[in-house]
Structure 1
Amino acid sequence: MDSLLLVDDEVAFARTLAEGMADRGFDVHLAHDGFEGYRQAKQPGFDVVVLDIMLPRMSGVEVCRRLRTEDVTTPILMLTAREGDSDEADSLDSGADDYLRKPFSFQVLVARCRALVRRGGAGGLVRADRR
């Protein structure tokens, strides 16, 4: 079973999304602020991280940037309700692998997460060649 970390501060939305992802075969873990998401994402074992941009305590872009600086290679899909190309560009430049605007098709989110899992990463582990 693929493991997914979902970081979103809209608790009801996150829980609903987590239930749907679990129904599609993902083992889902939740965090509701940037710092907690960052802390959890550094742990090995996640196959994909779904990360909202606008989070309390630390933005999703900053979480992504820090994870990449620390050589965490887990694929990251950024979510946002914000419009604008600059947010998308900032997210991708910070190290995100994919980007999806809210509202989105749940079917598309599942497909993108599965694609990121197929492409892989190191399950959150630091790459040995970068130590």
Structure 2
Amino acid sequence: MTLQVLAVDDSRTMRNLIAIALSDAGFEGHFADDGEQALEVLAGIEPDAIITDINMPKLDGFGFINEVRKKKEHGATPILVLTTESAPELRTRARTAGATGWIVKPFEQRKLVRALQMITG
């Protein structure tokens, strides 16, 4: 079975880099450029994991995580935060909202893939 991953980032370059990492690992990627669009995409798929940025227009990563966790069918879906932020209080806020893990950009492709493999078990 192919791992399905929803990746949310307002940077086209970052979405492209994530797409390459997912594709190279044999994962199927679904993409959105902000939290609002991601909720729309999420309505049509059942991802094995979600990757989200924090700083995005319309609905930021914290708001997106909160909305995902409200949905019964996605309550246990692993969420990996991929962001330029590294402040401990932001990590704590993300974990409290329901994030499973945290990776700081720029990321190494193999570390992202390994993290996805770990959180999807």
Same fold flag (TM > 0.5): yes
Structure 1 residue 41: Cα displacement: 2.6
Identity score, percent: 26
Which residue among 98, 101, 109 is the counterpart of 1:106?
109
Aligned residue for 1:126? none
Is the 1:41–1:49 contact (alpha carbons within 8 Å) kept by the matching residues of 2?
Answer: no
Which residue among 94, 99, 103 is the counterpart of 2:97?
94
Unaligned runs of 5+ in 2: none
Structure 1 residue 106: Cα displacement: 1.7
Is the 2:21–2:113 contact (alpha carbons within 8 Å) kept by the matching residues of 1?
Answer: no
What pairs with 1:33-52 in structure 2 (closer than 5 Å)? Answer: 33-52=34-53
Secondary structure of 1:99 counterpart = strand
Aligned equivalents of 2:68 and 2:34: distance in 1?
15
Is the 2:78–2:99 contact (alpha carbons within 8 Å) kept by the matching residues of 1?
Answer: yes
When the two chains are superposed, the root-mean-square deviation of aligned CA atoms in Å is 1.3
Secondary structure of 1:54 counterpart = coil
Give the alignment's TM-score, normalised by structure 2: 0.90
- Tell me whether 55-64 or 13-22 shows the greater mean CA deviation: 13-22
Give CA-to-partner distance per residue, 1:28-81, whole Å, 9 cap, x none: 111011101122234442100001111111011111011112232211001110
Aligned residue for 2:63? 62
Is the 1:42–1:67 contact (alpha carbons within 8 Å) kept by the matching residues of 2?
Answer: no
Aligned residue for 1:2? 3
Is the 1:81–1:101 contact (alpha carbons within 8 Å) kept by the matching residues of 2?
Answer: yes
Aligned equivalents of 2:55 and 2:9: distance in 1?
8
Give the alignment's TM-score, normalised by structure 1: 0.84
Structure 1 residue 84: Cα displacement: 0.7
Whichever residue aligns with residue 82 of structure 2, its letter is L
Whichever residue aligns with residue 48 of structure 1, its letter is A
The number of equivalent residue pairs is 118
